């Protein structure tokens, strides 16, 4: 059901994206056509005024009827009913185009009825030094005797230049939609790889479970056998097989649990627990197993927190276990609580081999193990701190890793006070 919903959301998102792109293209096209219409209207008004002035200059009565013919989108013909002086025409064209805010290059030609040909004028450019262009051929217009023609060679680029805002908006929209599509693609790829990874882990751990169960069953039987009990060396070897088998079984269980928890959120059951007594009990067990380890506890006996007892104890065990494993000499671990105004700050400070600054942000990633001298000696799959982060997230706490100035790491847990009021 979740997959179907995700696919539907992705499909709707892609359809919306395509719809927006199509709508933006239509809006831009309509804006271009509107700008083209405005340009044509302004050109018509300017040419009409030029014709009126030429009529007045030649002493003829002016009539606006059928004076201007638009031959194509960039080609206009103006009937003036008398000879035209090029210098006068050019002066009027510059004046009227300027009034109508038409600032683009144009060319003009005047029809010569004696030669039945268009006499090319010149290119009028808005630049001081116009770019040399090939002369445009002006086609004579039938049924007129005295007229001039105007052509705008750069009309399309001029209109596009007037629509900069629309193109910037379209570019921004396309950029945003591209990021969205890329994000969707990345999400699908990540989901696919996560499913493949989870399936692989599940299959791998289940395949390990059967031979491990057989090994543990056989080793337990061996340790109880009279022949083994009577031989201290064999008893020791059988004990090693059992203990290592149990250790490997715990690792497999941890991997399997992480894989399951990726698919289903860890269910927590918060309740009030005393911070000091809980941590002291865990430290006592570690002290028994690691008599060389030195613990310095500075915990407020009055602090209570709302937490899932089982997962919180596992969290603390993982942090202490990491500190002990990665210590070069006798482990030294400080566990300190600070009661702030809005939260409890719980610090785990060790003097281990530490982590490089550029890699410290990765230590909470799944399967990540810091490459250092101790990594080859320490067994594990890089799941301890990943589990810590997951439990912290489920409780809506915060976790952060920092460098210890004395060497080693400082892991800080920020537990909001509202969780234990």
To which residue do tokens 């059951």 refer? 269
Where is 271: in which H helix or E strand?
strand 271-274
Of 125, 145, 161, the one marking the end of a domain is 161
Tokens of 273: 């627990």
DSSP symbols for 372-421: STTTTTS---S-HHHHHHHHHHHTT-EEEEEE-TTSSEEEEEEEEGGG--
Distance (Å, rounded) from C-alpha 228 to C-alpha 224? Answer: 7
Per-residue pLDDT, 347: 93
Q: Would you state the pLDDT for residue 419? A: 46
pLDDT at 75: 86
Does this model's pTM top 0.75?
A: no
Query: For residue 2, what pLDDT is reported?
Result: 47
Taking the chain (421 residues) in runs of 10, the rounded mean pLDDT of each run is 64 80 83 87 89 84 80 85 83 88 86 74 71 64 80 83 78 80 79 72 69 79 79 80 76 64 66 91 84 89 88 88 82 90 90 75 74 54 78 89 84 78 43
What CATH number does the domain containing 411 carry?
3.30.565.10
CB 414 within 8 A of CB 343: yes
208 and 237 housed in the same domain: yes
Q: Is residue 92 part of a domain?
A: yes
Position 336 scores a pLDDT of 92
Q: Of 313, 324, 284, 276, which Cα lies nearest the Cα of 391?
A: 313
392 & 364 share domain: yes
> How many domains does the chain fold into?
3
Question: What is the reported pLDDT for 265?
Answer: 57
Domain range holding 250?
Answer: 187-263
């Amino acid at each position: 059901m979740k997959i179907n919903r995700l696919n539907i959301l992705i499909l709707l998102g892609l359809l919306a994206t395509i719809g927006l792109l199509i709508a933006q293209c239509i809006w831009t096209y309509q804006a271009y056509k509107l700008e083209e219409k405005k340009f044509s209207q302004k050109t018509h008004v300017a040419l009409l005024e030029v014709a009126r002035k030429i009529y007045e200059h030649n002493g003829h009565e002016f009539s606006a009827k059928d004076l201007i013919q638009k031959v194509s989108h960039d080609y206009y013909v103006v009937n003036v009913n008398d000879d035209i002086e090029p210098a006068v025409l050019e002066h009027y064209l510059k004046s009227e185009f300027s009034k109508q805010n038409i600032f683009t290059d144009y060319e003009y030609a005047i029809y010569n009825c004696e030669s039945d040909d268009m006499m090319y004028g010149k290119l009028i450019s808005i630049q001081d030094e116009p770019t040399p262009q090939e002369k445009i051929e002006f086609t004579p217009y039938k049924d007129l005797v005295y007229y001039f023609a105007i052509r705008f060679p750069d009309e399309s680029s001029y209109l596009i230049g007037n629509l900069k805002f629309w193109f910037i908006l379209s570019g921004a929209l396309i950029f945003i939609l591209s990021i969205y599509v890329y994000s969707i693609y990345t999400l699908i790829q990540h989901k696919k790889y996560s499913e493949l990874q989870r399936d692989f882990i599940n299959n791998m751990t289940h395949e390990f479970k059967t031979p491990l169960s057989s090994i543990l069953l056989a080793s337990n039987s061996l340790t109880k056998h009279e022949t083994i009990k009577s031989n201290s060396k064999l008893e020791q070897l059988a004990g090693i097989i059992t203990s290592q088998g149990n250790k490997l079984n715990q690792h497999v269980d941890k991997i399997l649990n992480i894989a399951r928890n990726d698919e289903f959120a860890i269910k927590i059951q918060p309740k009030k627990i005393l911070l000091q007594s809980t941590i002291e009990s865990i430290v006592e067990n570690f002290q028994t197993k690691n008599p060389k380890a030195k613990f310095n506890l500075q915990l407020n006996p009055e602090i209570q927190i709302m937490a899932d007892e089982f997962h919180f104890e596992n969290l603390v065990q993982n942090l202490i276990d990491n500190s002990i494993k990665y210590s070069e000499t006798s482990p030294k671990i400080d566990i300190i609580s600070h009661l702030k105004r809005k939260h409890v700050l719980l610090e785990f400070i060790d003097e281990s081999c530490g982590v490089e600054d550029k890699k410290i942000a990765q230590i909470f990633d799944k399967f990540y193990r810091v490459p250092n001298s101790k990594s080859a000696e320490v067994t594990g799959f890089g799941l301890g701190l990943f589990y810590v982060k997951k439990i912290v997230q489920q409780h809506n706490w915060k976790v952060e890793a920092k460098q210890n100035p004395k060497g080693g790491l400082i892991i800080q847990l920020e537990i909001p006070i509202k969780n234990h009021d």
